[in-house]
Structure 1
Amino acid sequence: MAEAKTTEPAPAAAEGGSGEQQHKTVVVVGVDDSDHSYHALEWTVRHVAAGMAGAADLVIVHAKPSPSSVVSFGGPGAGEAMRYVEADLRKMAEAVVDRARRVCIANSVHALIEVVEGEPRYVLCNAAEKHHADLLVVGSHGYGAIKRAFLGSVSDYCAHHTHCSVMIMKHPKPKC
């Protein structure tokens, strides 16, 4: 899958004034089409990326489902259905990337945005490894124990399988 990119962040290591290498913090944020993931992105942009003023690289990752993971039937018309599903998944990915880009622009933050086809839990862990992330930020969908058992928890998987720290952002509940 081709990657959608915004402005490239600076390299992970930059020369300091004293001639020694300084490590830039790399933060990877997973986004999908949920409000939970955008809350995580907005929080990260405001508190981490913008607050570190050039000392952090921000990488935004969207895991686009493969058409075969959404549609699993064969027979006459299956090829046509797959083309429609692929087109819809591509449009959804474009909308996710566009919204993430707008969040970054509104906060004057540069980010690398990637769209990678695959299962979100694996895509995010691989992205954290690929970019040598110091922090992976994901939104919590707030599923209860039963839904989590059936649907799985991307954040739980990432917390147990990635090499870096994982922040699970909960969307605040409205106060009555």
Structure 2
Amino acid sequence: MTTTKPVMVVGIDESEQSFFALEWTLDHFIVPSAAPNPPFKLIIVNSKPTSGASMGFSIPGVLDILTHVDQDLKNIAERVVEKAKELCISKSVNDVTIEIVEGDARNVLCDAVERHHATMLAVGSHGYGSVKRALLGSVSDYVTHHAHCTVMVVKKPKGNNHEG
């Protein structure tokens, strides 16, 4: 009888906080029990902001600018994915699916949870204060209220770790 593993989605972007969350998740959920069967099927999701080039501006020069912006966003997404792959390989985690999905990170992550029937979503925390969070919106705050699974917000400790 074949049983399928529960799915864990990890949301990443180019931030140090999201890679801390990915590494923490690998170390605490995947690698320690990896001999040879980790408890979760791991899916890493990067959301690429929506392209402005697809908006159909007819003002001369704007399309060229938006095309360059879109290329930059694509390059950033590819670098993020490559860095995630390298981190997984460094931890000997080879059974991982990595996706780049265009859209707002809040919606992309909630949709990924639904699409993959995930039982857990892990995200990093940028540690914004209340004003910045109100202006920019908090992905971690949004997904804790809207994702239909357990959500783990991984916070990077402030300052240096104390040696003891």
Kept after mapping to 1: 8 A contact 2:49/2:102 = yes
Number of aligned pairs?
A: 156
Kept after mapping to 1: 8 A contact 2:52/2:70 = no
- How far, CA to CA, are the matches of 2:11 and 2:40 in structure 1? 16
1:128 is aligned to 113
Deviations 1:114-165 (A, max 9, x none): 0000000000000011111111000000000000001111111100111100
Gaps (5+ residues) in structure 2? Answer: none
SS of equivalent to 2:3: strand
Kept after mapping to 2: 8 A contact 1:49/1:57 = no
Q: CA deviation at 1:23?
A: 4.1
Greater shift after overlay, 53-62 or 147-156? Answer: 53-62
- How far, CA to CA, are the matches of 1:67 and 1:23 in structure 2? 36
- How far, CA to CA, are the matches of 1:74 and 1:48 in structure 2? 50
Greater shift after overlay, 96-105 or 47-56? Answer: 47-56
Matched residue type, 1:68: G
Taking only aligned residues, the RMSD between alpha carbons, in angstroms, comes to: 2.0
Matched residue type, 1:115: I
1:31 is aligned to 12
- How far, CA to CA, are the matches of 1:137 and 1:34 in structure 2? 14
- How far, CA to CA, are the matches of 2:126 and 2:58 in structure 1? 32
2:69 is aligned to 85
Matched residue type, 1:39: F
Q: CA deviation at 1:40?
A: 0.3
Q: Percent identity?
A: 49
What TM-score do the two structures reach when normalised by structure 2?
0.89
Gaps (5+ residues) in structure 1? Answer: 1-18
2:44 is aligned to 60
- How far, CA to CA, are the matches of 2:52 and 2:33 in structure 1? 41
What TM-score do the two structures reach when normalised by structure 1?
0.83
Residue 129 of structure 2 corresponds to residue 148 of structure 1: no
SS of equivalent to 1:173: coil
Deviations 1:68-89 (A, max 9, x none): 29x9x76220110111011101
SS of equivalent to 1:167: strand
- How far, CA to CA, are the matches of 1:126 and 1:33 in structure 2? 20
- How far, CA to CA, are the matches of 2:21 and 2:91 in structure 1? 14
- How far, CA to CA, are the matches of 1:143 and 1:68 in structure 2? 26
- How far, CA to CA, are the matches of 1:136 and 1:113 in structure 2? 14
- How far, CA to CA, are the matches of 1:142 and 1:87 in structure 2? 29
1:109 is aligned to 93
1:12 is aligned to none
SS of equivalent to 1:22: coil
Deviations 1:79-108 (A, max 9, x none): 101110111011100100000000100001
